[in-house]
Chain A
Amino acid sequence: MTRELFLELFTGLLREMIRIRRFEEKCVELYSATKIRGFLHLCIGEEAVAVGVVGALSEDDAVVSTYREHGHALARGVPMPSIMAEMFGKATGCSGGRGGSMHLFDASRRFYGGNAIVAGGMPVAVGLALADHLSDDRAVTVCLFGDGAFAEGEFHESANLAALWNLPVLFCCENNRYAMGTALAREHASTDLAMRAAAYGMVAWTVDGMDVIAVREATDRALEYVRDSGKPCFLELRTYRFRAHSMYDPDRYRDKSEIATWKKSDPIPALEAKLVSDGLMTPAEVERWRAGVEAEVDAEIAAAVESADAAPLEPVEDLLRHVTTEAADGVALLAGGRST
């Protein structure tokens, strides 16, 4: 690759990570201002996974995510105004305001949702991949989940099904070392998750999830493998969340020093430093570039907030709608069907 291509790739990754971080930092403010209600789970610190993995996908690929999915949705290209409106619970949100922070959905972009149930989306990912497989589609379904999901039965059922049936699923375990407040070693008898995934007959790698370039390279390689072989693959992306589990979490289960240590691997300054050490930019150029990006991103966020604020709520009387199809009254379910 030429210098220009490296510069374009690296700044592209960096820009998207900054965009996700600024978005979530704004969400914290909006939560405190009760503009966003319900739950709010932030991925601050884990942006390299969202950008490295989700940004590597083609349009045809599918994504199944978790409740910590703002970054995944943004990286997937779900428009920020529709995400922000969803956070606000407004009718213009990507799930019509009913899903909220944990259920961002955009089927048109093959983003099959955040999911509030840990591991709940995993069998769904297997089904999406089975559908693609039966339709001779070369798409890959990326299934993002945390280390907590690895302890759930649904992970093990899904891993077995995908490997048994040779389905194009890329399992991406976003291992941030805590299942809510329970440390990895307190939830898993064996903490080498990639090794355990390999036991299902899947190719499985461990990746530095704080290094966006490593994540992107591993994802590209994994996607190529899954597309060519039709078989599943597993990536354990070792990362760390800098913020508490949710806005309600007092974060008393880990030492401040541990958080400080991980912050030294913050993927955003790490990539800025690499731009300098690789001779792609001078420190002064990085500063200038970053100021420009932040101004652009902040303007995008401000516009999203403004439109979300102005958007209407779903009328309360409409809550009875869309629970089931309104046409399915049972009379005309088959052509020629008739009522008595």
Chain B
Amino acid sequence: MALEKVTLGKSITNGLRKAMEADPKVVLIGEDIGKLGGVFRITEGLQKDFGEERVIDSPLAESGIVGTAVGMALRGYRPVCEIQFDGFVYPAFDQIVSQVAKMRARSLGALKIPMVIRIPFGGGIGSPEHHSESPEAYFAHTAGLRVVACSNPEDAHWMIRQAVACDDPVIFFEPKRRYHDRAEYDTAAASAPRGLFEANVIRQGTDVTLVGYGPVVKTMIESAAAAEAEGTSIEVIDLRSLSPLPIDTIVSSVRKTGRLVVVHEASSFLGMASEISAQVTEQCFYELEAPVIRVGGANIPYPPSRMEEEFLPDLDRILDGVDRALAY
């Protein structure tokens, strides 16, 4: 037992370190990750400790980085790519969709692509478009990819280790505005608290189910606390895995509460909430007391930083969603 208070960012660093210690085939590759330690310092110190051949500084070439990782994965390595910002992943889109996602199926399972693509995502840090985006639905829509998002330090630590250990390609979303959030957990624990593709019921409740992932989870927890003061009991689910979608956890909760609000920063239009809404409606039609409510971004390019507070789902918008669900 070693209870420590660690930031989310440092938890990923420690998780990567553990993965690299456990398996010499784990190699990191990305822009500025070695000498500089990454733009968010997530890989800080790793090149010094593991050398330039395991923490590889690459040029500005996202397609090259991801494609190179595919080649390495085909040869038994477990590459972990860092994409600096969410909006920088698009040059690698062809490699991710056409190569990373399809190799296994195309070869009838003969090939595996055990690689991770780490992407800091979401807004709230005062950055403009390309630096504040939530592109997760593009990847969740692509068969052959695993897509996960962590929301707290302990999960970040374990989920990155599990993602590296996974034999499928994992798109790993990191909530960049939560990098500095701290939490206390047992950093010497022998096993993960839960599987990589399982949702986590963070808070039990009876009136409304709130589902989200990544940066909005903290806001959902705050919203549930505020609602409790007003007598509303909210169940909070951290989705964690976007693909595969742990729909059973949501369905069980909705069968209990009869109401569902899904939250994310990405545009509500064809976002994860749309899929969750459809599946829950199909499975819980007779248990639902209200339509599934989506609380997400508007269908616009990410707004200028001075206006991002209007764009992001905050406590008020989440509680407004809850009220709308309760109004039925």
Residue of B63, B112, B198 near A330 (CB, 8 A) is B198
Q: Are B194 and A98 in contact (CB under 8 A)?
A: no
Assembled-state Cα–Cα distance A83/B67 (Å): 25
Assembled-state Cα–Cα distance A288/B108 (Å): 43
Residue of A107, A117, A161, A327 near B98 (CB, 8 A) is A117
**Residue among B53, B79, B106 facing the most chain A CB atoms (10 A cut-off):** B106
**Residue among B95, B192, B244 facing the most chain A CB atoms (10 A cut-off):** B192
Does chain A have a CB within 8 A of B117? Answer: no
Q: Mark B64-80, 1 if CB is under 8 A from A, else 0.
A: 11111111111111010
Does chain A have a CB within 8 A of B195? Answer: yes
Shortest C-beta distance, B186 to chain A (Å), equals: 13
Q: Mark A271-290, 1 if CB is under 8 A from B, else 0.
A: 00000000000000000000
Does chain B have a CB within 8 A of A157? Answer: yes
Q: Mark B179-190, 1 if CB is under 8 A from A, else 0.
A: 000000000001
Contacts of A91 in B (CB 8 A): 108
Within 8 A of B (CB), among A289-340: 314, 321-325, 327-340
Shortest C-beta distance, A335 to chain B (Å), equals: 8
Q: Mark A106-150, 1 if CB is under 8 A from B, else 0.
A: 010000100111001111111111111011000001000000000
Does chain A have a CB within 8 A of B317? Answer: no
Contacts of A116 in B (CB 8 A): 98
Does chain B have a CB within 8 A of A65? Answer: no
Q: Are B198 and A131 in contact (CB under 8 A)?
A: no
Shortest C-beta distance, B32 to chain A (Å), equals: 15
Nearest to A129 among chain B residues (CB) is: B71
Q: Are A127 and B72 in contact (CB under 8 A)?
A: yes
Does chain B have a CB within 8 A of A55? Answer: no
Residue of B73, B108, B198 near A339 (CB, 8 A) is B198
Q: Are B195 and A124 in contact (CB under 8 A)?
A: no
Q: Are A131 and B109 in contact (CB under 8 A)?
A: no
Residue of A107, A117, A339 near B111 (CB, 8 A) is A107
Question: What is the predominant secondary structure among interface residues of chain A facing chain B?
Answer: loop
Q: Are B68 and A126 in contact (CB under 8 A)?
A: yes
Q: Are B191 and A336 in contact (CB under 8 A)?
A: yes
Assembled-state Cα–Cα distance A245/B141 (Å): 32
Does chain B have a CB within 8 A of A158? Answer: yes
Q: Mark A136-173, 1 if CB is under 8 A from B, else 0.
A: 00000100000000000110011011001000000000
Q: What size tier do the contact residues of chain A reach? A: 35 or more
Q: Are B144 and A324 in contact (CB under 8 A)?
A: yes
Within 8 A of A (CB), among B94-124: 94-95, 98-99, 104-112
Assembled-state Cα–Cα distance A239/B105 (Å): 34
Q: Are B111 and A330 in contact (CB under 8 A)?
A: no
Contacts of B67 in A (CB 8 A): 120, 122-124, 126-127, 154, 157-158
Contacts of B59 in A (CB 8 A): 157, 160-161, 164
Within 8 A of A (CB), among B127-144: 143-144
Assembled-state Cα–Cα distance A164/B61 (Å): 12
Contacts of B166 in A (CB 8 A): 325, 328, 333
Does chain A have a CB within 8 A of B266? Answer: no
Assembled-state Cα–Cα distance A157/B64 (Å): 6
Nearest to A99 among chain B residues (CB) is: B106
**Residue among A115, A330, A340 facing the most chain B CB atoms (10 A cut-off):** A330
Contacts of B143 in A (CB 8 A): 323
Does chain B have a CB within 8 A of A103? Answer: yes
**Residue among B65, B68, B197 facing the most chain A CB atoms (10 A cut-off):** B68
Q: Are B162 and A98 in contact (CB under 8 A)?
A: no
Contacts of A219 in B (CB 8 A): none
Contacts of B146 in A (CB 8 A): 324, 328
Contacts of B144 in A (CB 8 A): 323-324
Assembled-state Cα–Cα distance A126/B61 (Å): 13
Does chain B have a CB within 8 A of A96? Answer: yes
Shortest C-beta distance, B205 to chain A (Å), equals: 18
Given A98-B108, A131-B71, A131-B72, A339 and B95 touching (CB < 8 A)? Answer: no
Q: Are A322 and B68 in contact (CB under 8 A)?
A: no
Assembled-state Cα–Cα distance A329/B165 (Å): 12
Contacts of A105 in B (CB 8 A): 106-107, 110-111
Residue of B61, B165, B167, B200 near A160 (CB, 8 A) is B61
Given A124-B67, A154-B64, A158-B67, A323 and B72 touching (CB < 8 A)? Answer: no
Does chain B have a CB within 8 A of A176? Answer: no
Contacts of B194 in A (CB 8 A): 338-340
Q: Are A325 and B168 in contact (CB under 8 A)?
A: yes
Does chain B have a CB within 8 A of A101? Answer: no
Contacts of A135 in B (CB 8 A): 75
**Listed A/B pairs (26) with beta-carbon separation below 8 Å:** A95-B107, A99-B106, A103-B106, A105-B110, A123-B68, A124-B70, A126-B68, A127-B67, A127-B68, A127-B69, A131-B76, A132-B75, A154-B94, A157-B67, A161-B68, A324-B104, A324-B168, A325-B104, A325-B168, A328-B168, A332-B195, A333-B192, A335-B191, A337-B192, A338-B191, A340-B198
Q: List chain A positions with a Cβ less than 8 A from chain B.
A: 64, 91, 95-99, 103, 105, 107, 112, 115-117, 120-132, 134-135, 141, 153-154, 157-158, 160-161, 164, 314, 321-325, 327-340
Give 8 nearest A-B pairs by CB, closest first: A127-B71, A123-B67, A96-B108, A330-B197, A330-B195, A131-B75, A322-B109, A157-B64
